Amino acid sequence: MRRNEAHRILIFVCLVLLLFISVGMTRGERGVLVGPESWVKNTVAVIEGIFYSPVRSALALSPSSEAASPKSEEIARLEAKLKELQRENEELKKQWGYAKEKPIDYIAARVAFRNPDRWHNRVVINRGKEDGVEPKMPIVTSQGLIGRVQSVTGHMADVQLLTDMGDGPSIAAMIQGEKEEVLGIIEGYDALKKRLILKKVAVTAKIKAGEPVVTSRLSDIYPGGILIGTVAEIKLGESGAEQLVYVKPSATFEQLDYVMVVRDPEKLQLNQHNNEVQSKTGGEKR
């Protein structure tokens, strides 16, 4: 028995020594593992796989996992793009309906730039001289008048909005009442009330809130009948000789995207006539 036990102990010691020798031989930066080290690593890998596989599957199904994150971002991007296209399509439909209802010649354009420092004063559109855009041409949306072309280059134009009346010309306008049409001049914008100011309105004129205000055909810039807004408030002027009418603009100025540049042959001819007259007058004075 003792011999057998000693034999077993000797065999065990030899096996341990062989194990350490094998481990020592298989250490180092090698791509392929052999011997006992490979058995140990394989065993650990099997155990690791048993516990890691279910956890990995659960993570893959989780919406916050790295694998799902790019997909979720792509879906969100496509949804945002779809909403943008739907909004653009709706706006283009409104423009088409406006042009169909009012037989006007116009150049379709899109707002290309809006300076944050002059948000309520100017916008830049992506149409210019090469597209037929000229200074002083009216700019409208499907909601109504928003301004006029101030300056133009080859492929772009600066647009002065109605909300910036400091440097621009007055607008001959007309209140379409139930029984009469009342003339006036839009001169100024009240930024606090967000209202255009219609001046030189006769004291005797009967005006009601909600009545539409449109451009007058007597204007040298704007064709007649373009909607500007509606009467919001009426009060007596400081001199007592006129009424001041606050007009709520029909167009939205906060978000401008697609616009229409109105081409009116009569107004173009009138502008050309005025320029020729001024040129001749200036030459005579000299």
Which tens digits make up the pLDDT trace of 158-189? 999 999 866 666 899 999 988 889 999 999 89
Residue 34 pLDDT: 46
- CATH classification of the domain holding 249: 2.40.10.350
- pLDDT tens figures, 10-46: 565 555 455 444 444 444 444 434 454 444 434 434 4
In a domain, 217, yes or no: yes
Average pLDDT over residues 129-154: 93
Q: Where are the beta strands (DSSP E) in the chain?
A: 105-113, 122-125, 138-141, 144-152, 157-161, 171-176, 181-190, 195-202, 212-215, 227-236, 242-249, 258-263
What is the per-residue pLDDT for 200? Answer: 92
List of residues 6+ apart from 210 with CB closer than 8 A: 230, 231
Q: Is residue 74 part of a domain?
A: no
Q: What domain count does the chain have?
A: 1
Alpha-carbon distance values, 116 to 84, 122, 160 (Å):
22, 10, 14
- Model confidence at 125, pLDDT cuts 50, 70, 90, reads very high
Q: What pLDDT score does 210 carry?
A: 94
In a domain, 110, yes or no: yes
Let me know if residue 121 belongs to a domain. Answer: yes
User: What range defines the domain where residue 127 resides?
Assistant: 99-264
Write out pLDDT tens, residues 261-278.
998 777 667 777 777 777
Residues 213-241: pLDDT tens digits? 999 988 888 888 899 999 999 998 888 88
Q: Does 281 or 202 have the greater pLDDT score?
A: 202
Which of 89-93, 112-116, 146-150 is predicted with the least confidence, judged by mean pLDDT? 89-93
pTM of the predicted protein model: 0.62
Residue 165 domain flag: yes
User: In DSSP terms, which residues pair with 151 in a beta bridge?
Assistant: 158
Q: Give the C-alpha separation, 207 to 193, whole Å.
A: 19
- 258 in any annotated domain: yes
Residue 127 in 3-state DSSP?
Answer: coil
Examine the pLDDT at 153 and tell me if it is beyond 60. yes
d(CA 104, CA 127): 18
94 inside domain: no
Whether residue 105 is contained in a domain is answered as yes
Rounded distance, CA 214 to CA 224, Å?
Answer: 7
